[in-house]
Amino acid sequence: MKRKVNKVGQNTLTVSLPTKWVKKIGVQQGDEIDVLEEDSSLIINATKKDLQGKSLNYKLFSSDPRYVRQAIRALYISGVDELRLEFDKAQTIIIIQKEVDLLLGFEILDQKDNSCHIKCVSEPLEEEFNILSRKVFLLTISMAELIYDNLKKNKPLNFKQISDLHKNIHRFASFCRRMLVKKSIYGELKSQSAYFILVRAMMIKNNFYYLSQYLDSKKKYKINKSVLEYFNEVISLYRLFYEMFFKNDIKMLADINTRRDELMLKKMPLILEKEKGEGNVVLHYLAENVRLISTAGSAQISYSLDSLIK
């Protein structure tokens, strides 16, 4: 776009900022922006302002534990820094406390019979996003390997260890999504794509966790070699998914798609025809994770192409 140069005073030349860009970023009078000189170009950069970062009053319409957790998590991820919750049943505070414990920086400052005051008192730096988002993937791999090793050795699961991994992944993934929403740290398109990929990573983690819950309830189980081999290949596929995201190498998507077809169209039907009992349940969760990995391809393409869009 072209902008007209105006003269202010004796020696100062100015240009106006595009209205659409100003509204999108949230620039206001008195804000500081970075201006980078590059040959004959000037690059203007401003950090997008928090979408929320404000105090919010919210009335919980139900004491259903899942809804309460979802509501608090959604408000945290959306960027709210201070939250006053109202609820009908006094015991709802127990559910609230458990969820707040999983949200980095959030603390309950005070509580009454039917309300509480939550505030973000501290949180990791934006620069730690890359470290914490990696942990989401790496801890999920650790969870999957822990389940696999116990199945292979036909040993009872250490469910507490898996549950602890689940909670830490939850903490890191929620924070990373909060940063993507509040700061749009990669720019709008790339941040949206990264958000989608992180949600997929969470869904995959959840499937491994649900599988561990099922196996823990069974106590005794026997999983055939073919299912164990399938499990190992799914872990390998997830590692490839992790590498593709952090290396930003879209060429790996072709390998993911090839492996997906091999696992879903060839190997899984053969195993299902022979497998019985617990093995089919294990296979169900594994196949769902193969699907989740392979259908994240469009988001990965958007994530990779963002830097090329001018």
- The last residue of one of the domains, among 98, 120, 142, is 120
pLDDT at 183: 82
pLDDT at 150: 93
Domain with 99 in it: what CATH number? 3.30.1370
Residues in the chain: 310
Considering the domain boundaries, does residue 102 fall inside one? yes
Domain with 232 in it: what CATH number? 1.20.58.220
Total-model pTM: 0.80
Q: pLDDT below 50 — which residues of the chain?
A: 38-39, 50-52, 310
User: Is 175 in the same domain as 302?
Assistant: yes
User: Is 143 in the same domain as 244?
Assistant: yes
Q: List the one residue out of 160, 152, 154, 294 whose CA is nearest residue 231.
A: 152
pLDDT at 23: 63
Burial 214-235 (b: 16+ CB within 10 A, else e): bbeeeeebebbeebeebbebbb
User: Is 255 in the same domain as 220?
Assistant: yes
The CA–CA distances, whole Å, from 308 to 34, 191, 261, 294, 302 equal: 21, 15, 30, 24, 10
User: Is 72 in the same domain as 152?
Assistant: no
Considering the domain boundaries, does residue 270 fall inside one? yes
User: Is 239 in the same domain as 98?
Assistant: no
- Print the domain residue range for 204: 126-308
pLDDT at 51: 43
Q: Is 13 exposed, middle or buried (0-12, 13-18, 19+ CB in 10 A)?
A: exposed
User: Is 225 in the same domain as 258?
Assistant: yes
